[in-house]
Amino acid sequence: MPSPTIRRRVARLTVADIRSLATLLVVAACLAGAFLSGAPAALDRTLSDARFLLGPRPASGGIVLVDIDARSLAEIGVWPWPRRLHADLLSAAATAGAARVAFDVDFSSRTRPEDDAAFAAALGSAGPETFLAAFVQHDPASGAVLASMPIPPLLAASWPVSINVPVADDGRVRRFPSSIDVDGEAIASMPAVLAGRETMDGDVGIDFGIDAASIPRVSFVDVLHGRIAPEQLRSRTLVVGATAIELHDLFPVPRAGIVSGSTVIALAAETLMQDRALASWRPSSGLPALLFVLGAWFALRHGLRRTLLAAAITALAIEAVAAWFYVERAVMAETAGLQLALAAVALWSLVREFDLRQFRLWVSRVETRNTARLLERVIDDGFDAIVIVDAQGRIMRINEVAQRLLDLPPGRRPDTVADLPPALVAVVETAMAAADEAAGPRHPARRMLELAGTGEARVLEYTVSPFWLEDRRRGRREANRLRYVSLLLHDVTDRERAQERLRFAAFHDSLTGLPNRRALEADLEGLAAERVPVALLAFDLDRFKGVNDALGHATGDAVLVETARRAAALLPAEATVFRIGGDEFLVLSRTADPRLVRALAERLVEAIGQDFDVNGHRISIGTSVGIAVEAEGCRDPSVLRRRADVALYQAKRTSAGPVVEFDRSMDEARLERLALERDLAAAIDAGAFELAYQPQIDLQSGRWTGAEALLRWRHPERGFVSPAEFVPVAEETGLIHRLGAFVLEVACRDAARWPAAIKIAVNVSPLQFLTGDIVGAVRSALASSGLDPKRLELEITESAFVGENHRLAGIFSDLLALGVTFALDDFGTGYSSLGYLHRFPIAKIKIDRSFVTDIPGNRHSMAVLRSVVVLADGLSIRTIAEGIETGQQAEILGELGCGEGQGYLYAKPLDIGQACALFAGGAKDGERGGRTERRARLAVV
């Protein structure tokens, strides 16, 4: 009778055998389920797609793809194209010597008759053999299969070939049908026809090992326009198809990704031409079962490692054989069933080796070891310093980063928290004392502290976090949980120093070191909140631009630095100087006493007015100061700044002195100026300006020679606004260009109604020459009015030549080329440089009325008039005097030799109707300019 020990062993063996058999049956059932679910087919597709990567093959080069690509669409236009373009392509292909042309394009519908006829004629002409696409498609409405054939005129001159592309279950194209059935007639596929296999049956397995990128391809538009070398197309087969994304003729394929339909056709044709049509081999259904049984027998006789190794070697051998059959025989073996059987054997071996409890224990141990290693690496290799302390103050873990950061001796780990810097000791003790396990975990807050060690003080960012662990030595009682503190430190010294520098740079001027505009705004807002009385003193440097232009920006910067030093040196403790920008400075005084503020401003003027010795240059620069004192309840910082700027503006532009205090009249003047600017812009937009014309007369013959255009503006509220008031505003705001163009256009249009001998004189602002397009404005006015350019005279003042630049000479040349002439206005009152008369094409000098008014009583005016006339006569320049109001003035000017004149003696400024009537009458017969009585009769009342 067997002993109890032997019986227990037999029982254990029986249980083990039953468990092993049960797991084997479960794995076998899973394998059968995999076969029934179609998993082998999906795995076979994956394996076959991977084999295409083995030994890629180049294309033969006999097929050239003609792509209807994005470049062709951009150059020719939106699809579909006129069919005459396909006819032109056939002609170009014939010229290049192409053997055949196949169109992967739908020609099943009619288009314009002349285009269809042109394409049909091209197909029927002698040239390359042509093939047109035919296909069948499922009609969702009726459920029938509809055929799409080329229209009869095209079909009569070419061969139809099918282009249907079947898609596998995974959405990819792997095969191509050799033909399709249309109304009982078999139509061969385009790849079969191009490869000369029209009689073959069944589908073609496409070899995607043929490199799609090696197929020659050209752009449709390049072939159409003859931009392709003929040898690239000679004796080749051209496949014309769409590749542009917007035409949606794209298919996913193995290895090459997403390609066009024409590329699929070319790959299928290349497959047939290279005898690479893929055949399939599928093992019998019993072979995977036999392999599974053999594998299970092997697993029973050998251990887990040998079984897994044998399964892996067998799987690799199967795939190697399958790869050889594909590369050498173009046979695609379906090995998924065999691979699944091997996988099932490996799975069963693993299940036999590990039951569920063992498996969980093994996974847990692996995860524990991995976690411990991971934490060690994080602690040792991290950028942060880490210190872990237990409840007794012992340091359980400290990494090298922490030892370096805290200047601890290298190679020796500190034992207790007392070995750390005192600041950190207090941090750890506070966190340990405040730790409360019942409160649960809390998000650690980041704090900053500064450590002063042996070297430079360092700024540390730290987090301190208490946590608890189980005491495995004393069971699981709650009272035996262990308390620890984790301290993480990060050196942020460089970051904090950089932020300090950024903060300083944000609120200070980089050149002078003074506080800047942002600092001023912050100080003003703070003082306003504290209701501290303040005053602002704005000042800038006179003639500073000249220093920069003459001596360079380095010298200018040195002047600014010295200005900042002088200003800061004389300011009292309650005042601060700021650099706002450029040469603009502002002083913030924390007192609103007008006497103290004005005294401070005068000291600034005196200090900055002293000569500067900079880079070997003695420079004299003055300044003006505008003062705005907080008064009348005004505490708005922006208002104070604006008032200081307004006062400075007033100080620089009036004779009130270098120090000006703001008063409300300045604000009213500023608001008046802003209103004038606004009304001026609105008047230009509304066309509210008018022109008056003051006639000009020949002082010798008494005949009218021209008229000066005078701009008039009648404001609906202000009434008549003088040009002396609004023209400077237009110049400063840039509106002068629009206003000047308006005057030119209206004046030329009105002058075109006068007799041909009457000229029109138009005043032109210097800014129109220096910054505007005066040439374009004149050209536009002449073109729109039809006025003879010789009748247009542009009056310019001498200020236009001051600071003349390289553009000025070119502008005069362009205007002279148009045919206009120039008059120098107000001669003698400005800069009076005779060089202007020599360098610029001045045809007339206009003598200012200030010289005419004083004659004959003022001998100085007589001398000037005589000199100007003699000078003009010597330079062959005509002269005209303005402001003639008496006959005596006219007679004297005539005797001096002045050519023309204008003034109230002859006529007041007239509107266009009066001017037309006056010029139509002409001058009276026999009137001469030398007799005053006859001149008086020319006046218009």
Q: In the predicted model, is pLDDT for residue 601 greater than 80?
A: yes
Q: What is the pLDDT of residues 499-540, one digit of tens each?
A: 778 888 888 888 888 998 888 888 888 887 778 888 888 898
Task: Provide CATH 3.30.450.20 ranges for the chain.
Answer: 384-497
Task: State the CB neighbour count (10 A cutoff) for residue 463.
Answer: 16
User: Which of the two residues, 319 and 684, has the higher pLDDT score?
Assistant: 319
Q: In the structure, how many helices (H) and strands (E) does the chain have?
A: 33, 36
Task: Provide CATH 3.20.20.450 ranges for the chain.
Answer: 691-936
pLDDT band of residue 940 (cuts 50, 70, 90) is: very low
Alpha-carbon distance 677 to 738, whole Å?
Answer: 14
Q: What is the pLDDT of residues 68-124, one digit of tens each?
A: 998 998 888 888 889 899 999 999 999 999 999 999 999 988 999 998 888 988 888
pLDDT band of residue 630 (cuts 50, 70, 90) is: confident
Q: What are phi and psi of 61, to 5 degrees?
A: 90, -5
pLDDT in the model for residue 931: 39
Take residue 914 and report the two structure tokens written for it.
Answer: 């009066």
Residue pair 212/256 in contact by the 8 Å Cβ criterion: yes
Residue pair 137/167 in contact by the 8 Å Cβ criterion: no
Chain position carrying tokens 């062993």: 9
CATH topology of domain 508-662: Alpha-Beta Plaits (3.30.70)
pLDDT in the model for residue 223: 92
User: Which of the two residues, 805 and 768, has the higher pLDDT score?
Assistant: 768
Of 78, 80, 183, whose CA–CA distance to 134 is shortest? 183
Lowest-confidence pick of 46-60, 551-565, 666-680:
666-680
For 384-497, the fitting CATH number among 3.40.50.2300, 2.40.10.220, 3.40.50.880, 3.30.450.20 is 3.30.450.20
Return the sign of the alpha-carbon dihedral for residues 421, 425, 426, 427.
positive
What residues contact residue 110 under an 8 Å CB cut-off, 6+ apart? 116, 151
- DSSP code string of 771-791: TS-HHHHHHHHHHHH---GGG
Task: State the CB neighbour count (10 A cutoff) for residue 864.
Answer: 20
pLDDT band of residue 578 (cuts 50, 70, 90) is: very high
pLDDT in the model for residue 461: 79
Q: Helix 336-353 crosses helix 304-329 at what angle (to 10 degrees)?
A: 170
What residues contact residue 928 under an 8 Å CB cut-off, 6+ apart? 700, 701, 702, 934
Q: What is the pLDDT of residues 638-661, one digit of tens each?
A: 778 888 888 888 777 766 678 888
CATH number, domain 691-936: 3.20.20.450
Q: What is the mean pLDDT of the chain?
A: 81
pLDDT band of residue 18 (cuts 50, 70, 90) is: low
Q: What is the pLDDT of residues 795-851, one digit of tens each?
A: 887 666 655 556 777 888 888 888 999 888 877 665 455 655 666 778 888 888 888
Mean pLDDT, rounded, for 285-297: 83
User: Which of the two residues, 195 and 772, has the higher pLDDT score?
Assistant: 195
pTM: 0.42
